[in-house]
Amino acid sequence: MTDLVLIGATGHLQSVMDSILARGCYRVAHIVDDNTAGREFFGQYVEGATDLLPEFHARGMRHAFVSAGAIGGYGNREKWYQLARRTGFEIVNIIDPSAAVSPHAKLGEGVFIGKNAVVNAYARIGNMVIVNTGSIVEHADVLEDFVHIAPGCTLSGGVRVCRGAHVGAGSVVRQDIVIGAESLIGIGSVVVRNIAPRMVAYGNPCREQHPLEI
């Protein structure tokens, strides 16, 4: 079984570890986070901060996964991803065994696909994307790097979600829509028009409300 270092100990780590245990292909050897040392997850403790990564690599660890969520932005996810790559780790994907991922889909690295999620044919999933529980990514969708699709979303065919955008839980996106980079789509929205970059948008139909302030 391959040893794995997990980077980031937010609530998202609980879903990640559950999927790792269900799949059974990795052994979680270490967990690090810059803010939550000592916290326990599934009987394992956060050992310390990310400055431990070079030590772990020097001791023979070669595989890592960024297990921090993206609530409040993806800054830590990007920072820790780049740190792990510079340190020399291979960044793996974690796909829950209950997920259905087409062999004709293309996945980057550092991707998490949660329970009962669907990724259909010719979808393209970038690096560090989260497709959370029960979400559907239909044929020919494109999810750029650091996108977060929250639980229970449906993205119809040909949708493009640009870098760092967040689609809130239970949202539905019409076919061929473009959601701009770093935009935030509110919970339960029905997106029938393109959304500009760095906008907060929500509602049925989804409307741009104001520019993202963070």
* N-terminal to C-terminal alpha carbon distance within the chain: 41
Coil vs helix vs strand at 42? coil
Coil vs helix vs strand at 110? coil
> What is the C-alpha separation between 125 and 123, in angstroms, rounded?
6
Catalytic residue among 63, 139, 148, 166: 139
Residue 85: which H helix or E strand, with range? helix 75-87
57 is a catalytic site residue: no
Name the residue with tokens 């559950």. Answer: 18
Candidates 184, 192, 115; CA nearest to 148 is 184
Burial group, residue 99, by CB count within 10 angstroms (0-12, 13-18, 19+): buried
Burial group, residue 122, by CB count within 10 angstroms (0-12, 13-18, 19+): middle
**Positions marked catalytic:** 139
